[in-house]
Amino acid sequence: MTVTTPLASSFLQSESFIYVLYIVAFALFIQGLRGLSGPRTAVRGNRIAAVGMAIAIVATLLQRSEGNWGLIALGIALGTAVGVPAARNVKMTAMPQMVALFNGVGGGAVALISWVEFRHYGSTYGSRKVGLPVGEIVHRLGGGPNVLGVLTLHADVGGPPTYVAIFSVFAAIVGSVSFWGSNIAFGKLQEILPGRPITLGRAQQAVNLLLFVLAFGAGIALVAGTHSELLFIGMLLAAAVLGNMVVLPIGGADMPVVISMLNAFTGLSAAATGIALNNPALIVAGMIVGASGSILTNLMAQAMNRSIPAIVAGGFGGGGVVEGAEGAGEHAGSVKSTSAADAAIQLAYASRVVVVPGYGMAVAQAQHAVREMAKELEKRGVEVHYAIHPVAGRMPGHMNVLLAEADVPYDQLEEMEEANSEFGRTDVSLVIGANDVTNPAAKNTPSSPIYGMPILEVSDSQSVIVIKRSMNPGFAGIENELYYEPKTSMLFGDAKSAVSEITAELAQL
């Protein structure tokens, strides 16, 4: 237990000092997140959290004593080389994919770390009863003299106690699910994979349950003392397939829920790793992320009036989507189509216009064009606001980021409740690439799959203009009654070019 290092360095490496650094780090995380409660303090908040992270990393590097510096440098260099350009260059419209990807690598890291833990300590899982003397265990585990003190990996007790194995195995399973689930989500959002639900039909839930049982069964066997690395790999694989199976059936419109949920998973698995490694910074940070992810998951599910299990069990039903798409032509006669010139006149003589953006705006990258149009309208004294549904787009807050990128003033963004109370005195609602979040069926048609989902009540306004590429129903595959209302006119076309045309017409009026 003796540390034979010079005095200064032994102070820096003392367990209390390192522990204090960890406390500072997680205090900074919490303080940083508090900053996110408003747009003005948010940038600083994020930087405070980043400083906390730097401190946590320095603290960790201080306490290690064996070699492998080269490998650490290599990993960090590789990660930086990948992460920095990705973060610099990603378009705001591609943010959901980016978040999914970053989330995935986090989960992957957790799973890999648990795997190495198993390789290193697995032979003692389930054998704590043996009660070897501390020094012996430390030696057997290759930890060398106990320079790490309180923060030592498991060496302060007779071998890694059972709970360490439990948390480590839990982290491995959840991390693996999160890694693969996030990758699938990335694939869907990046349109490498089809965005529509991909399901096994009725067998889906049985298969998922089986995989779940397999993964956890293997985990329990490992904790109980089965020293087989193959079993561990099998467990990771079962969890990996489960991650695929859980996300593949989920349709694009449900992505906000999935991304939030995977975020929560990665956080919880990090917290579990923290307990397994006896590291307070990991525990706190992981748990906060877990809490954040859970809150968002809940909010998103509420905003769709759907339960989380129902979403995880599969999108709006694989079959229903196709049927909805086929039935789309039925009402076609009663839709009123308009031109950019007419729309421009309608907008120019309004006193209050509300823009309702949806995923279509993101796909068409129309946010700047929308902002240009709004400026043109504001020049004419038209009051322009933006009504944002919580699940518009593919991740929580997706629309807000895009509009912020286009320099839309923060105070023109209205959340759903505020917006709904104002539609009554709105002259024109301009729906840009949003569909299900405006569908009155959610209020009026009990048989509709989205019945009960809170919507933006655009039909309360005097008139509605919908910019849409075609009459195809949205991701949910549900007919939108809004389009057949007499006050609604449809402007068919790509969101960006349609909005630009309106702007051009406005300029000529």
Partner 1 sequence: MILASTLTTNLAILVLAGFIGFVVISKVPNTLHTPLMSGTNAIHGIVLLGGLLLLGLANLGGLSKFLLVIAVTFGTINIVGGFLVTDRMLEMFKSKPKPPPASGEEGAAGEGKGEERS
Structural contact between residues 275 and 285, judged by C-beta atoms closer than 8 angstroms: no
Q: Contact between 509 and partner 1 (CB under 8 A)?
A: no
Summary count for the chain: helices (H), strands (E): 20, 6
Q: Which is nearer to partner 1, 167 or 483 (CB)?
A: 167
Of these, 280, 318, 320, 440, which contacts partner 1 (CB under 8 A)? 280
Of these, 223, 289, 464, 478, which contacts partner 1 (CB under 8 A)? 289
Phi and psi torsions of 499, nearest 5°? -65, -40
Spatial distance between the Cα atoms of 31 and 409, rounded to a whole number of angstroms: 26
| Strand ranges of the sheet holding 383-388, from the earlier edge strand across to the other edge | 413-415, 383-388, 352-357, 428-432, 463-468, 488-492
* Residue list 15-34, contact with partner 1 (CB under 8 A): 26, 29-30, 32-34
Q: Which is nearer to partner 1, 88 or 202 (CB)?
A: 88
* Residue list 199-228, contact with partner 1 (CB under 8 A): none
The residue from 407, 411, 427, 436 that is catalytic is 436
- Contact window for partner 1 (CB under 8 A) among 10-18, 206-214, 394-402, 419-427: 394-402
Tokens of 467: 């910019």
* Residue list 37-66, contact with partner 1 (CB under 8 A): 37-40, 42-43, 45-47, 49-50, 53, 56-57, 60-61, 63-66
Q: Contact between 283 and partner 1 (CB under 8 A)?
A: yes
- Closest by alpha carbon to 478, among 439, 425, 508, 426? 439
Beta-ladder partners of 387:
414
Of these, 8, 88, 230, 333, which contacts partner 1 (CB under 8 A)? 88
Q: Which is nearer to partner 1, 157 or 210 (CB)?
A: 157
Of these, 68, 305, 307, 472, which contacts partner 1 (CB under 8 A)? 68
Q: Which is nearer to partner 1, 376 or 457 (CB)?
A: 376
Of these, 18, 99, 347, 434, which contacts partner 1 (CB under 8 A)? 99
Q: How far is the CB of 330 from partner 1 (least distance, A)?
A: 35
Q: Which is nearer to partner 1, 14 or 205 (CB)?
A: 14
Spatial distance between the Cα atoms of 466 and 344, rounded to a whole number of angstroms: 13
- Contact window for partner 1 (CB under 8 A) among 240-248, 404-412, 430-438, 453-461: 404-412
Burial of 477 (0-12, 13-18, 19+ CB in 10 A): buried
Q: Contact between 424 and partner 1 (CB under 8 A)?
A: no
Q: Contact between 281 and partner 1 (CB under 8 A)?
A: yes
Number of neighbours of residue 108 by Cβ within 10 angstroms? 18
Beta-ladder partners of 303:
none
Q: Contact between 130 and partner 1 (CB under 8 A)?
A: no
Of these, 13, 124, 146, 263, which contacts partner 1 (CB under 8 A)? 263
- Contact window for partner 1 (CB under 8 A) among 245-253, 390-398, 427-435, 461-469: 390-398
Q: Which is nearer to partner 1, 242 or 277 (CB)?
A: 277
For the chain, report the end-to-end CA distance as a whole number of angstroms. 84
Of these, 189, 223, 340, 406, which contacts partner 1 (CB under 8 A)? 406
* Residue list 132-191, contact with partner 1 (CB under 8 A): 141-144, 153, 156-157, 161, 163
Coil/strand/helix, residue 212: helix
Q: Which is nearer to partner 1, 66 or 330 (CB)?
A: 66
Map 46-111 to HEC letters.
HHHHHHHHHHHHHHHHHHCCCCCHHHHHHHHHHHHHHHHHHHHHCCHHHHHHHHHHHHHHHHHHHH
Spatial distance between the Cα atoms of 385 and 234, rounded to a whole number of angstroms: 53
Phi and psi torsions of 167, nearest 5°? -70, -35
Q: How far is the CB of 307 from partner 1 (least distance, A)?
A: 20
Radius of gyration in angstroms for the set of CA atoms belonging to the chain, rounded to a whole number: 27
Of these, 82, 192, 203, 209, which contacts partner 1 (CB under 8 A)? 82
Q: Contact between 407 and partner 1 (CB under 8 A)?
A: yes
Q: How far is the CB of 488 from partner 1 (least distance, A)?
A: 25
Of these, 136, 323, 326, 415, which contacts partner 1 (CB under 8 A)? 415
Map 139-184 to HEC letters.
HHCCCCCCCCHHHCCCCCCCCCCHHHHHHHHHHHHHHHHHHHHHHH
User: How many residues form the binding site for partner 1 (CB under 8 A)?
Assistant: 131
Q: Contact between 372 and partner 1 (CB under 8 A)?
A: yes
Coil/strand/helix, residue 314: coil
Structural contact between residues 201 and 318, judged by C-beta atoms closer than 8 angstroms: yes
- Contact window for partner 1 (CB under 8 A) among 103-111, 194-202, 321-329, 440-448: 103-111
Q: Is 411 a catalytic residue?
A: no
Catalytic (active-site) positions? 436
